[in-house]
Amino acid sequence: MKFCFGIIHTNYVECNIYIIYRYTANKSMDKCAFCNADGDFLIVPQQGRLVITTECGRLKVSPGEIAILPQGFRFTVSLPDGPSRGYVGEIFGTHFRLPDLGPIGANGLASSRDFLVPTAWYEDKFNPGYTIVQKFGGELFVAVQDFSPFNVVAWHGNYVPYKYDLNKFCPYNTVLFDHSDPSINTVLTAPTDKPGVALLDFVIFPPRWLVAEHTFRPPYYHRNCMSEFMGLVYGGYEAKVDGFLPGGASLHNCMTPHGPDTKSYEATIARGNDVGPSKITETMAFMFESCLIPRITPWALQSPFLDHDYYQCWIGLRSHFNQKSEVPNLQNNGE
């Protein structure tokens, strides 16, 4: 596949007010810039760095970092490492912000000091045939001009592209028992009008210690009203021993039951109850989680890369329930 970053996106999951894309690119953009008049992009590179030149300056974004390109900025992307791929979340009508920290208090999770903005960078030269591609109302429009749009010599303000290194995230989680809602690992959220309900949360599963006692430590089996799109930047994911590879993606749509694959489940049960602290290392999985049900594009459904056998990862799940086994009395059952 040969296409230029920013010109053709592989549209993966689509709905009214957010879109999730996968991108692949094998060529830097040359004498052309892209502008999204519809919404904001959150870019998650998975392979290959991106040098993103914007009207406010340049951002070099590596896998393990994310970039946010707010609505209306012109940008061009070059690929210092050659072929590149990753994920993009697009939101309409709102912007990403840090989540409310609630009882966590003043510090924790992503810290505002770690969000980096570019310093001004400009090129001031005659540049005939410079093409601007503008996404407007979901369609692409092209204009040709004879100068580079990156001619801003200085700027100030607070509406600006930025980047964030996911390894700066300070994760919080359970320190005694039970598995927390993954929203505890929200890096950025795009809120709706309903408090606590997100149009799109960007959540990560970074390296961390697992210490919970009397607890099934991997993600619980569940179905929920949020729709969960997951990607993997590097390493593995604790709930999927096989089949979920860096660059891959899964979608567990609203109320679709899911949880660890059979191998992860059996390995957890085999370790028993008395496991000490263990550390999940060298991994960076993430989730785009939304209260809106995404519609999957025909392109994605017809993709030869669609994993028709995904359900097989749960084949063989069996109950380990034993009425006679000793369980701690954690619940007050009134007796």
Ligand X SMILES: O=C(O)Cc1cc(O)ccc1O
Name the one range near Fe ion by CB under 5 A: 25-33, 53-61, 188-196, 223-231. 223-231
Number of chain residues interacting with ligand X (CB under 6 A) = 7
Residue 243 lies near ligand X (rule: CB under 6 A): no
Let me know if 179 is a catalytic residue: yes
Of 79, 239, 284, 313, which one interacts with ligand X (CB under 6 A)?
239
Of 65, 228, 261, 289, which one interacts with Fe ion (CB under 5 A)?
228
Question: In which element (H, E) is residue 301 found?
Answer: helix 298-301
Select from 45, 7, 59 the least CA-distant residue to 28: 7
**d(C-alpha 11, C-alpha 13), whole Å:** 6
Of 63, 161, 182, 206, which one interacts with ligand X (CB under 6 A)?
182
Q: Which is nearer to Fe ion, 40 or 228 (CB)?
A: 228
Q: Which of 9, 179, 214, 308 is catalytic?
A: 179
CB 45 within 8 A of CB 61: yes
Q: Which amino acid, 101?
A: L
What residues does 280 pair with on adjacent strands? 208
Task: Provide the mask over 254-273, with x wherever binding to ligand X is found by CB under 6 A and - wherever it is not.
Answer: ----x---------------
CA distances from 184 to 188, 241, 285, 334 (A): 11, 23, 14, 31
**d(C-alpha 19, C-alpha 299), whole Å:** 14
Residue-wise burial string across 71-103, b where 16 or more C-beta atoms lie within 10 A, e elsewhere: bebbbbbbbeeeebbbbbbbbbebebeebeeee
Task: Provide the mask over 284-313, with x wherever binding to ligand X is found by CB under 6 A and - wherever it is not.
Answer: ---x--------------------------
Q: Report what 190 binds from ligand X, Fe ion, none; CB cut-off 5-8 Å by kind.
A: none
CB 207 within 8 A of CB 166: no
Which residue ranges are tagged as binding site? 222, 228, 237, 258
Q: Which is nearer to ligand X, 123 or 181 (CB)?
A: 181
Of 219, 235, 243, 247, which one interacts with ligand X (CB under 6 A)?
219
**d(C-alpha 165, C-alpha 64), whole Å:** 6
Residue 206 lies near ligand X (rule: CB under 6 A): no
Contact set with ligand X (CB under 6 A): 182, 219, 228, 239, 252, 258, 287
Contact set with Fe ion (CB under 5 A): 228
Any idea which residues carry the catalytic annotation?
Answer: 179
